[in-house]
Amino acid sequence: MKNQTDVQLNLLIDSIKQDIIFGRLRPRERLLEDQLSERFNMSRHQVRMAFSVLDQMGLVTRRPNKGAIVRDFSVEEAEEVYELRALLQGEAARRIPMPAPADLLNRLDQIQEAFCAAADAGDLQRVCKLNNEFHGVIFGACNNRYLAETIDRFWIQTLGIRCYAIGDPALLVHSRNEHAAMIRYLREGDRESFVQLCIDHIWRPFEAYKRAHGGWTTLQQSA
């Protein structure tokens, strides 16, 4: 299906995504083609291709002859993205069949169990992966592939915003409880509560982001 260079390419893309969500790569940080091509043993062309994909994903920004930098959101921009995410996730929540199909509930239970285990074990990387999976499965069930796709798109774009929340144990507990509540509402068929929770759920990481950016106005925004 996929040839080998595609695999390598995805490897690089995932690696950069990881670096962004865990804050190892900071907003506006430069990404050098030579550096990465050497580190990952791939041609500069492939790195460039990866940049192009990441650019379209909205994770990095490219300017002619100046290369790629990690995308930066001003607080205002971040707020607008979150408003849109709230709209989309609310609509998706309204479109999920209810009471939810047993198949969906089973998968969510499984993911939630693994999520709790990873959280207890302090395995942040696995927590993050399972969190992605949980959201993907929930909103993938909305019966509109483009709605699901768009939710996923902005889920990825906000990796760099959510990185301020990833390490906070209090937020992790919140996530876990809210995920459990989502499953409960789905099982009980409590649509109103479910929709509201899907909307409210996204804002806590944004609050963390705002706190981190509080005070300083965005410097060299137009540079």
**Residue numbers at the binding site for DNA (CB under 7 A):** 3, 5-6, 30-34, 42-46, 48, 62, 64-68
What tokens does 209 get?
């982001």
Q: What's the min distance (Å) between Cβ of 8 and DNA?
A: 8
- Residue 110 binds: one of a second copy, DNA, none (C-beta under 5 to 8 A by kind): none
6 binds a second copy (CB under 8 A): yes
Q: Closest distance between DNA and the C-beta of residue 69, in Å?
A: 9
Compute CA distances 106 → 76, 101, 109, 153, 173, whole Å. Answer: 39, 9, 5, 25, 22
> By C-alpha distance, which of 102, 126, 113, 115 is closest to 186?
102
Output the smallest distance, CB 148 to DNA, in A: 26
Considering the rule CB under 8 A, would residue 35 count as an interface residue with a second copy? no
**Selected range binding a second copy among 15-23, 24-32, 80-88, 191-199, rule: CB under 8 A:** 80-88
Q: For the chain, how many residues are written?
A: 223
Is residue 150 part of the contact set for a second copy (CB under 8 A)? yes
In this structure, are strands 30-31 and 67-70 parallel, antiparallel, or unpaired? antiparallel
Residue 66 binds which of DNA, a second copy, none (CB < 5-8 A, kind-dependent): DNA
**Is 3 a residue that touches a second copy (CB under 8 A)?**
yes
**Interaction partner, residue 109 (a second copy, DNA, none; CB < 5-8 Å by kind):** none
Q: Which two tokens stand for residue 137?
A: 């499965």
* Residue 95: CB minimum distance to a second copy, A: 9
DSSP string of 113-131?
Answer: HHHHHHHHHT-HHHHHHHH
When CB distances are held under 5 to 8 angstroms depending on the partner's kind, the choice from a second copy, DNA, none that residue 147 binds is: a second copy
Query: For the residues of 11-43, what is the DSSP string, one character each?
Result: HHHHHHHHHHHTTSS-TT-EE-HHHHHHHTT--
Mapped onto helix, strand or coil, the DSSP state of residue 69 is strand
Q: Which does 46 bind (CB under 5 to 8 A by kind): DNA, a second copy, none?
A: DNA
Q: Which H helix or E strand runs over 103? A: helix 102-121
Q: Rule CB under 8 A: which residues touch a second copy?
A: 2-3, 6, 52, 56, 64, 77, 80-81, 83-84, 87, 91, 144-147, 150, 154
